């Protein structure tokens, strides 16, 4: 999908800060999904795998660089270091969330045990 989107010619001629911001923002979920898919492919266990996190980051970084390199060959497109930075930031945040997810679940479970389930039917007379 990403290769198809980065093959659209003359996107750079659509000037304006709103369009530029939109295209940069759209990189975030795409490369977050790339990082997540890389991690899920590399992680063999349901347990957190630090080597898989590192390899998923490296694969996401490589894909971001290759995607921008590919765009440099498309008519009317150019390679942008800003796009690579947005892509790598998105991948990093996704992998950080994956790494911290077990700790976040424990905090949420502790909070739930302390306050009890929020069941609306139990509060009605």
Residue 50, in any domain of the structure: yes
Q: Please, which pLDDT band fits residue 91 given cuts at 50, 70 and 90?
A: very high
Helix (H, G, I), strand (E, B) or coil at 1: coil
How far, CA to CA in Å, does 115 sit from each of 71, 110, 112, 118? Answer: 52, 9, 5, 8
Range of 27's domain?
Answer: 2-114
Q: Is the pTM of this model over 0.75?
A: no
- Asked whether the predicted pLDDT for residue 22 surpasses 70, the reply is yes
pLDDT at 110: 65
- Asked whether the predicted pLDDT for residue 96 surpasses 80, the reply is yes
pLDDT at 107: 61
Q: Which of 20-29, 70-79, 92-101, 113-122 has the highest mean pLDDT?
A: 92-101
Residue 125, in any domain of the structure: no
- Asked whether the predicted pLDDT for residue 2 surpasses 70, the reply is no
Q: What is the mean pLDDT of the chain?
A: 80
- Asked whether the predicted pLDDT for residue 12 surpasses 70, the reply is no
- Asked whether the predicted pLDDT for residue 87 surpasses 80, the reply is yes
Residue 82, in any domain of the structure: yes
Residue 121, in any domain of the structure: no
Residue 123, in any domain of the structure: no
What is the C-alpha to C-alpha distance for residues 88 and 47, in angstroms, rounded to an integer? 24
What is the C-alpha to C-alpha distance for residues 98 and 91, in angstroms, rounded to an integer? 11
- Asked whether the predicted pLDDT for residue 45 surpasses 90, the reply is no
Q: Identify the residue with better confidence: 11 or 42.
A: 42
Residue 26, in any domain of the structure: yes
The strand ranges marked E within the chain are none
pLDDT at 31: 94
Total domains in the chain come to 1
């Amino acid at each position: 999908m990403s290769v198809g989107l980065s093959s659209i010619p003359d996107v750079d001629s659509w000037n304006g800060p709103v369009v530029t911001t939109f295209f940069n923002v759209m990189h975030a979920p795409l490369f977050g999904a790339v990082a997540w898919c890389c991690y899920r492919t590399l992680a063999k266990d349901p347990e957190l795998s630090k080597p898989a996190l590192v390899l998923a980051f490296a694969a996401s970084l490589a894909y971001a660089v290759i995607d921008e390199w590919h765009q440099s060959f498309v008519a009317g497109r150019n390679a942008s270091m800003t796009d690579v930075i947005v892509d790598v930031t998105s991948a990093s945040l996704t992998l950080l969330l994956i790494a911290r997810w077990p700790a976040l679940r424990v905090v949420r479970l502790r909070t739930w045990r302390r306050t009890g389930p929020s069941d609306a039917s139990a509060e009605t007379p």
